[in-house]
A and B are shown apart, each in its own frame.
Chain A
Amino acid sequence: MDPIFIWIETSGLSVWARESTSLFAFPGILALHAIGMAIVAGMSTAIALRILGIAPDVSLGEMKRFVPIIWFGFWVNLSSGIILLIAYPTKALTDPVFYFKITCVTVGILLFKRISRRVLDRSSIGFPLGARTERWLAIGSLVCWVGAIGGGRFLAYTYVKLMTI
């Protein structure tokens, strides 16, 4: 893996993201990542709370209108996350906590897709999920986002090797 890490870490994008003193480089990318996290994890949590019975007078079908905004947040996170990974590939890919985070994000997004298609969209084809299944999807979603947030934070404290070059 070392030659791959060296290749990435010496690339123009990696050097720029890591070493530029511009606020739009590393600091800006981190800020975008935090904003994306607030949108994806935060608004998915709001939808999960609704499914669990908070604000019961809110129509689930109407909550679906926030789904495109959550997807926007996800793409902001994915893009900024890829640049962060390019800036410090060794740090992330040699840390097991990174894989835990990505697993949480992946499962969280899969649960979100299922929720938006089968729980929020009552007209979707297929027999309706039971109320208990819907609640477990919501709980699973909450667990995944807390795991992703915690994993992301712990990355800064658990890495063993910052860079290969």
Chain B
Amino acid sequence: MLASAETVAGFMRTKWAWPVSESLHFTGLGLLFGTIGIFDLRLLGVAKGIPIAALHKLVPWGVGGFFLTVATGMLFLLTEPDQYIFNSAFHLKVLFMFLAGLNMSLFYLVAFPRVKSVAEGEDVPFMAKCIGGASLCLWLGVIIFGRLLTFYRPFPCGPEGPGFVSACLSWVSY
């Protein structure tokens, strides 16, 4: 694990590796939020003319986007673990991802068997609407806390440790 982390860090510290990885990370999040977001909006009643099963075929692309974000996320974590492990925004980001995963499991275990046969023009059960709404909120939370990561870096902005440190703003890469 340590050896692979060193290899990853060596690659990630080359000139363009980090911005390319970040760009792929954002592309993955766009794919995830775009496809799964549209599916969640359908659950909430937007574009009721679309049968659920038909629209659900977009979801695997969202899952692909998720794996792209996780893969690139692991590159960041393995290279600069302290910047994330001691970062309260990262803790919240992971918590929201975990809750989004739980929410998704609930959907497939409980709601989907009934929801998948919802035809065009029909509404989904109330529970599925709640799951869709929660999904949107949770992924928005993941995006927000991901963006706030840079403002909760523990080091080397100052000895104050985790917390909002305005001294970081003058050099932070946004």
Using a CB–CB distance below 8 Å, which chain A residues touch chain B? 18-19, 21, 23, 26-27, 30-31, 34-35, 37-39, 41-46, 49-50, 54-55, 57-59, 61-63, 65-66, 69, 84, 145-146, 149-150, 152-154, 156-157, 162
Contact = CB atoms under 8 A, between A and B. Distances in A.
Interface string B89-129: 00000000000000000000000000000001000000000
A85 to B, nearest CB: 12
A148 B46 CA distance: 27
B144 A44 contact: no
Contacts of B20: 150
Nearest to A48: B34
A55 B166 CA distance: 47
Contacts of A34: 26, 143-144, 146-147
A156 B174 contact: yes
Q: Bin chain B's interface residue count.
A: 35 or more
A16 to B, nearest CB: 13
A35 B30 CA distance: 9
B132 interface: no
A62 B50 contact: yes
Dominant secondary structure of chain B at its interface with chain A? helix
Contacts of A38: 29-30, 33-34, 37, 143
17 contacts: A19-B166, A21-B166, A35-B144, A37-B26, A42-B35, A45-B30, A45-B31, A45-B34, A46-B34, A46-B58, A49-B61, A59-B49, A62-B50, A65-B49, A66-B46, A153-B22, A157-B19
Interface string B153-174: 0000000000010100110011
A156 B173 contact: yes
B47 A63 contact: yes
Contact of B26 (A61, A153, A157): A153
Contacts of B130: none
A75 B56 CA distance: 28
Contacts of A162: 170
